[in-house]
Structure 1
Amino acid sequence: MKKESLEPDYFEEIYAKSDDPWGFASREYELHKYFDTLMHLPRKHYASAFEPGCSIGVLSGMLAPRVDRLLSVDVSEKALAQARRRNADKPTITFRNMQFPRHKPEQTFDLILLSEVAYYWGDTEFDQARDQVLTLLEPGGDLVLVHWTPFVDDYPLTGDEVHDRFIRFSQHTSTLQHLEGKREATYRLDVFRKA
């Protein structure tokens, strides 16, 4: 059975009930995962980065010192309003309302970070997102995936399905190289580089 993506209304309803529904700014799990993500970036600094699904901008703010220009996007205007307030002192971050991969940026990046976002895509949009990531990622650029691995009934894909699909793709193409992967109790992290 073909899986369909979650629509923007799903997220607006969640943010209508809570400013931080997943505890991005308060849960120890999230902070540990963010520091782990930053520690596994292959380079100390990047010229330009793309972060789809930035939510309230906690990871965006932590990533900003490592990037000259950061484009962070989300489908929820309520979440973006928080992200802009939280990062008002960081002029290198641009927050934009965008439903990636249905819409995509015009520029290219040397880092793309898919953190807790790709399991919201159904089968068709997942393939579209993967292809767009490869187009948007500059040669030699890095792709970092980080996702919650326990099953969530609402989500079209699991974190493991997301990562396994990217790994299988990298095994059948010379375009994307799998650099490293690790698994924690409740999340998985994989790093790729475009040839």
Structure 2
Amino acid sequence: MNPSQPHSLQPEYFDALYQEDPDPWKFETSDYEAEKYAATIAALPKPRYRSTFEIGGSIGVLTEKLAARTDSLLSIDVSKIAQDRAIQRCQHLPHVQFEIMQIPRDFPDAQFDLILISEVGYYLSLEDLKTAQQQMLNALEPGGHLLLVHWILYAKDYPLSGDEVHEAFLDLSPTHLKHLFGKREEQYRLDLFERC
């Protein structure tokens, strides 16, 4: 935990980044992101899902790839600036819906057989992460998959590290989640769980 940043990062933080640079993390151009996205999609154990929830869709690069593996996809983000670009990118995909939501304050009232939380868990305080975990458990169907992917290097602005996020979910295993697969690379880690 980062004692200098005990609270979840707010939408204004992200809007400022997107106003300065429409792709602040180089999702569209980075080889690192392309490799990580390929690994993310490859980690999905089922060829197709019924209903997918993507937490933190940003400008929609991964959203577009994820859409090919699901009948219905809800992608949320806290930044309207980012999400407007995602909507434009995915306008040819009518089964993808977008909403502005800030978890855990907002959470969809729906059931999913896949939840993806990629590169957003460390923006939450530990308290908010624990609340969001319970919301995800409630929304994930038995046998449904939860996929986490996070950068693991130090970032001074973030309340949590990528490792802390993943360890918090591993703490829910084996009573609530079954850990199916883990992968650790130089800059990120990926963990796949199944709802018990």
Whole-Å separation in 2 of the counterparts to 1:65 and 1:123:
33
Gapped regions of structure 1 (runs ≥ 5): none
Match of 1:176 in 2: 177
**Cα offset, 1:165, TM superposition:** 1.3
Which of 137, 147, 151 aligns to 2:150? It is 147
Question: TM-score with structure 1 length normalisation?
Answer: 0.97
**Matched letter for residue 6 of structure 2:** K
Give the equivalent residue in structure 2 for 1:74: 77
1:75-111 CA-partner distances (Å, limit 9, x unpaired): 0000010000111101111011111221000111000
Secondary structure of 1:67 counterpart: coil
Is 1:19 paired with 2:19?
no
SS at 1:126 equivalent:
helix
Residue number among 10, 14, 25 corresponding to 2:13 in the alignment: 10
Query: What corresponds to 1:117 in structure 2?
Result: 120
What stretches of structure 1 move > 2 A for 4+ residues in a row? none
Structure 1 Cα separation of the partners of residues 182 and 49 of structure 2? 20
Deviation at 1:169, TM superposition (A): 2.2
Deviations 1:30-60 (A, max 9, x none): 0100000000011110000000110000000
Deviations, residues 128-155 of structure 1 (Å, cap 9, x unaligned): 1110010010111000000000000000
In structure 1, how many angstroms separate the alpha carbons of the residues matched to 2:126 and 2:43? 28
Alignment-derived partner of residue 186 in structure 1 = 187
1:46 to 24, 42, 49: 49
Report the counterpart of residue 59 of structure 2 in structure 1.
56
In the alignment, residue 61 of structure 1 is paired with which amino acid? E
Shift of 1:3: 2.1
Structure 2 residue 164 is the aligned partner of structure 1 residue 161: yes
Take 1:79 and 1:144, find their aligned partners in 2: how far apart are those partners? Answer: 22
Amino acid at match of 1:182: K
Provide the residue aligned with 2:32 in structure 1: 29
Instruction: Normalising by structure 2, report the TM-score.
Output: 0.96
- Choose which of 87, 94, 100 in structure 2 pairs with 1:97: 100
Say how many residue pairs are matched.
193
Identity %: 48
- Read off the aligned partner of 1:57 and give its amino acid letter: G
Q: Which sections of structure 2, spanning at least 5 residues, go unmatched?
A: none
State the distance in 2 between where 1:162 and 1:100 align.
Answer: 14
Aligned AA (1:185): E
Q: Larger deviation: 162-171 or 19-28? A: 162-171
The SS at the match of 2:59 is coil
Distance in 1 (CA, whole Å) between partners of 2:6 and 2:132 is 15
Q: Distance in 2 between matches of 1:24 and 1:90?
A: 19
TM-fit CA distance, 1:166: 0.8
